Amino acid sequence: MKNRNTRKRVSPLRESTYGQSKSNWHATKRILLISLLLLSVLGGIGYWTSHAVHEAIVNVYSTNLQTILDADIEALEIWVKNEIDYAKVHANDPSVSTEVEELIAIHRKYPGQVEKLLSSSNLSIIQQKALPLQVDKDYMGFVVIDRSGYIVASNIADPLIGMSLSFELENFLKRIFAGEAILGNPHLQGEYVPGLDIVANNPVMITTAPIRNKEGNVIAALGLILNPDKDFTRILSVARMGDSGDTYAFDKEGFLISDSRFEDQLKEIGLLQDIPDARSILAIEIRDPGGDMTRGYRPKIPLSERPLTRMAASAVNGQSGVDSRGYRDYRGVTVIGAWRWLPEYGFGVATEIRKSDAFAGHRPVKLAFIGIFSILFIGCLWFLYSSVSIHRLRNKIEKIKQLGQYKLLKKIGEGGMGKVYEAQHALLKRPTAVKFLKPEAMSEEAIQRFEREVQLTSNLTHPNTIQIYDYGKTEDGIFYYAMEFLNGIDLAQLLEIEGKVPLERVIFILKHVCLSLEEAHSIGLIHRDIKPMNIMLCDRGGRHDAVKVLDFGLAKEINTPKELSLTTQQGIIGTPAYIAPERLSEGEETDIRSDFYSLGSVAYNLITGEDVFMAPTSVEVCYHVMKTVPPRLSEKVHYDIPASFDQLIADCLEKEAINRPPDAATIIAILESLETQYTWDQEKAHNWWQTNIDRINALRPTGS
């Protein structure tokens, strides 16, 4: 009989299976916990990265917007001061005061008899004095107004003389008769200056200064009428961020007082009348339409009832600020911007850029963040694969020892687009320099520029121009070309050694650069990137200081239409200190004289050891290049500069291209005439190279 109290035993197999299942469950649990932990960590890293990138972009754009705004306002303040000072100079002319006093006396003696003023010799004298205003400063004209608001003199139109001013302008002139000089905001012609024989929708600005008699009392106001297109709006258009950035000025009522860069778009969306002469200045109110009109939104609220944009509302209340969160502009486009109200001038300035463009770099981070959680495994694998591939691609070029028929020896230079190696032809054993595009820089535009540099430079045969030997593409798709190997230093390195270069050596260098440019110009090429780094002094065939002009990568054919010339996505390319003013101006064509401006800047740099314009930012340098007349060389050095050389460099640095030397031959002739007195021969060159050989070798790349 069985014992009912006998305990039922579990088989060893079932016990093992149970234990294994339990173990598997714990393992699965661990994997799940690890996965959840990994997801949490990745999620935290993703969120932190996304937030950090967003904040970094916000900080960068906030800083850039503020920098552009500060540079524009500083440029405007300089311009306003110059205009006011110019008006004061003429208003304080004693002879002007005397003639104006006589005209006022005639008006008082013969009230209402305008013909007495028109026939007065005093009016003729004042009008003759006004001629330099139009010739030198391109003013539209002037008016003289007595304390009663009566126009006693003008050179614009006779019907103006004898007219009385409107109440609005009379209030404006109260400040003038109190002794203050003012530059008024832009206004459409006819509002303040009726009778102007000019298109009605063209704006004008008036610089007004008090005219005083001998006793120092204000007897009248001198108003100089100028076109804001000439400087006011151009200053605001110089610095714009990207393709969607705009900088503009606006008044207390929220009207634009400078032109918008979006005028064609404003006509399309109905904010601006679609006629040929329509302009945005004083026609566009900075009001929030409530939605993006460029994407089809049409507001139902009348324009007059719409609120000012958040930026404009803040500014007209006297506030300044930066908004990186985004707000709608007068087109309804969401933008980020910086602004400042200028109470002393009665207007504000804002610089803005489309928010989606500013934060375009943040969008991939968000997509990657979402992708990690939606397809974590595939995303991780793809990220790993992409990282390894990119890493291999970037490092692959460093491991290449044979490029076509050329054996690479060592790296001797590197730029943003490519690298240059010292190499040797496999059969000829000839020293060669090989330049090729970096894999990460191989965009369609970069390849076009690379091929263009080869094609253009290969057509040049002058001894002072670097020679091209070969061009090709490896099996891996790497573009390269071979050129003569130059054993020497560039002019920037020369300045590191010398600090300043003797006049006779500068004359020698400039002459040979011009010989290279003369050939390029003769076949229709403009170099467009003449600067110290692109000019080398070499030891060639036992001859020292052989001059070589490099890098025709930015060269442009003279007859090539502007829209076909190569530029970067950021706009103009080149080094700001050496770019000709016309290349910084939208819509202006360049010719060979742009190279002569750069040549003058190089000469200035060599003689003085400084750039023509020294400024902390590129924006400020560009402003000075366009607006500031540089001091002559003779004012910058402590020795006598030949008058012809001093004038030559001043001519090369002229703002208007037409005032520069017409061709390289003209410059060469002047330099050759100076060489008889200022001679740089082989003996001097040999001694210099022998003396400085250690410093020269220290500047040369050691290779990699």
Cα–Cα distance between 66 and 322 in angstroms, integer?
A: 7
First vs last Cα of the chain: how many Å apart?
A: 95
Return the half-sphere exposure (C-beta side, CA atoms, 13 A cut-off) of residue 315. 29
Beta-bridge partner residues of 153? 144
| Total residue count of the chain as it appears in this document | 704
Q: What are the angstrom distances between the C-alpha of 342 and each of 170, 219, 225, 550, 561? A: 23, 29, 22, 47, 41
Give the three-state DSSP class for 482. Answer: strand
As given in the structure block, the two tokens for residue 692 are 């400085």
Q: Tokens 């929030």 belong to which residue? A: 288
The residues near 701 (Cβ < 8 Å, ≥ 6 apart) are 410, 411, 412, 413
Cα–Cα distance between 423 and 405 in angstroms, integer?
A: 10
SS3 content of the chain, % helix, strand, coil (to 5): 45, 20, 35
Give the three-state DSSP class for 25. Answer: helix
Active site residue 146: no
Report DSSP letters for 354-420, one per residue: EHHHHTGGGHHHHHHHHHHHHSHHHHHHHHHHHHHHHHHHHHHHHH--EETTEEEEEEEEE-SSEEE
Rounded to 5 degrees, what angle do the CA atoms 517, 520, 521 make? Answer: 85
Provide long-range contacts, Cβ within 8 A and 24+ apart, for 298-305: 298/270, 299/332
Cα–Cα distance between 173 and 392 in angstroms, integer?
A: 73
Q: For the chain, how many helices (H) and strands (E)?
A: 22, 21
Catalytic residue among 288, 490, 529, 595: 529
Catalytic residues: 529
